[in-house]
Structure 1
Amino acid sequence: MAAMLPPPPSIEWQPTEMTWRVHRTTGLHILPWSGLRTFGSILRFDHHPAPRNEHPDYGIWYGAASPRSALADAFQSARVIDRHRGDPYVTGLRFTRPLRLLDVSGIGGASWATRVGGNDALDSAPHSLAQHWARNIHLAHDTIDGIVYRGRVAGGTAVAVFERASDAFPARPELSLPLAHPALSDAIDTAAYQLGYTIT
């Protein structure tokens, strides 16, 4: 399949764009805010080869275009924003160069997934199917830095960044605060209300 994929419609994720991530800072399997996970595959667009294991040459990093979308994805399993377990932080950063991201959800108006025999529902397809597509995208298009898609829970724009974009992470984020920080209380309350999540 990989050799037959047509040239992809890409979105350039500009350094002016803030990208957000909610991440734990204590507990097992902790990565720094800019760390790419090399163990997989686990999540939707993980492109790690089988079997699930440590794959040092394959890294993935997930982010979102808004803090609300980042919160929605991070706490989707229980629909509870837990501000304390794992000492979670919300981190916002700007990449240091444009990222070329393959649009699998029609966000930019094109319909690449349909042209190659799929559809624009990859953002809600079973993980095994989305991972299969991610592996082939990574193999077929070596100039693609990752994937842009719609978050399954909140519907906001999200990104899955491959290891080939590791040079684009800044030395420091624009903002990084614990979710328990008082300055975030109002924003978290609003996000929880909009998402229908509870807060602890």
Structure 2
Amino acid sequence: MAVMLPPPPSIARLREVGIRDDEYVPVAGDALVWRVHRTSGVHVVPWNDYRIHGPLLRFDQQPLPRGEHPGRGVWYGAIDVDTALAEAFQDTRVIDRQAGTPRLTAMRISATLLDVSGDHGAWPTRAGGNFALTRASRTRTQRWARTIDRAFPHVDGLRYRARWSGRPAIVLWQRHRRDPFPGEAEHSWLLSDQRLAGRIAAAADRLGYDVV
């Protein structure tokens, strides 16, 4: 029988549970974070800025109803290229190198994350949930995201297991005390760049995606 994710506990209860030292994951400048992002069309968001329209995705912490929520932005990244591609093209399972003029950008960020992947502690279980947090319905995981965000304003976001690659990914929630993004990216290429053709084809093969 499938494991169901219960609703999140109250903010007060989460604060009682707290976060243990081994459940934090500091992300510093010694690791690259990858992001695939469109650069043309409607609703384009720069690589180093938050999306304020939502909630849409798994750990969007924006309140309902869906719409524009200034100051409540959300940002997703991945620890490896395969995961960045898998997440960006999850709806169609087709890596489209042309539509929206997408780019693959690598950067070094500074953030403190709560680990909900199971790699560092077992926080979801301690908090009254379980590891279905990474695969339950978006409606339910967004409720968890909103509660965690309000309970722990010192946390910049979450480290989780991406549903489509099974590898680490991160979500950042907009905080106003500091900007986690660097002034410049380490690397940034158009997905249509022929220098990426082999790398994208290999990633698509591993993921079972198509490429156009």
Query: Aligning the two structures, in what range does the TM-score lie when normalised by the shorter sequence?
Result: over 0.9
Do residues 193 (structure 1) and 193 (structure 2) align? no
CA distance in structure 2 between the partners assigned to 1:118 and 1:132 by the alignment: 12
Distance 1:105 1:75 in 2: 22
Alignment partner of 2:87: what SS? helix
Q: Which residue among 94, 98, 117 is the counterpart of 2:128?
A: 117
Q: Would you say 1:103 and 2:115 are equivalent positions?
A: yes
Q: Which residue of 2 aligns with 1:48?
A: 62
TM alignment of 1:68-83, pairs within 5 A: 68-83=82-97
Partner residue in 1 for 2:194: 182
Quote the offset at 1:39 in angstroms.
Answer: 1.1
- After TM superposition, list the pairs within 5 Å mapping 1:12-91 onto structure 2: 12-91=26-105
CA contact (8 A) 1:22 1:89 kept: yes
**Deviation by residue 1:52-94 (Cα, 9 ceiling, x = unmatched):** 1111120100000001100000111111111001111000000
What CA distance in whole angstroms lies between the structure 2 residues aligned with 1:143 and 1:64? Answer: 21
C-alpha displacement of 1:116 = 1.3
Please state whether the residue corresponding to 1:130 is helix, strand or coil.
Answer: helix
Per-residue deviation, residues 121-172 of structure 1 (Å, max 9, x unmatched) = 2111110111001001110001100011000001110000011176110111
**1:163 is aligned with what amino acid?**
Q
Number of aligned residue pairs: give it: 197
| Deviation of the 1:12 alpha carbon | 0.9
The answer to whether residue 188 in structure 2 is matched with residue 167 in structure 1 is no
5+ residue gaps, structure 1: none
- Structure 1: distance between partners of 2:12 and 2:63: 17
**1:6-50 C-alpha deviation (Å, 9 max, x unpaired):** 112211112111000001111110011111011111110000011
Cα RMSD over matched residues? 1.0
* Letter matched to residue 124 of structure 1: R
With structure 2 as the length reference, what TM-score do the two structures score?
0.90
Deviations 1:163-195 (A, max 9, x none): 117611011100011000011011001101101
User: Shift in Å at residue 104 of structure 1?
Assistant: 1.3
Query: Match for residue 165 of structure 2?
Result: 154
* Alignment correspondent of 1:135: 146
**What is the CA–CA distance in structure 1 between the aligned matches of 2:67 and 2:199, rounded to whole Å?**
37
Structure 1 distance, partners of 2:129, 2:48, is 31
| Separation of aligned partners in 2, 1:101 and 1:182 | 35
Residue 51 (structure 1) shift: 1.2
Question: Hey, what's the Cα distance between the residues in 2 that align with 1:163 and 1:91?
Answer: 20
SS of the residue corresponding to residue 152 of structure 1 reads coil
Q: Where does structure 1 differ by over 3 angstroms across 4 or more consecutive aligned residues? A: none
- For the 8 Å contact 1:105–1:121, the answer to whether it is kept is no
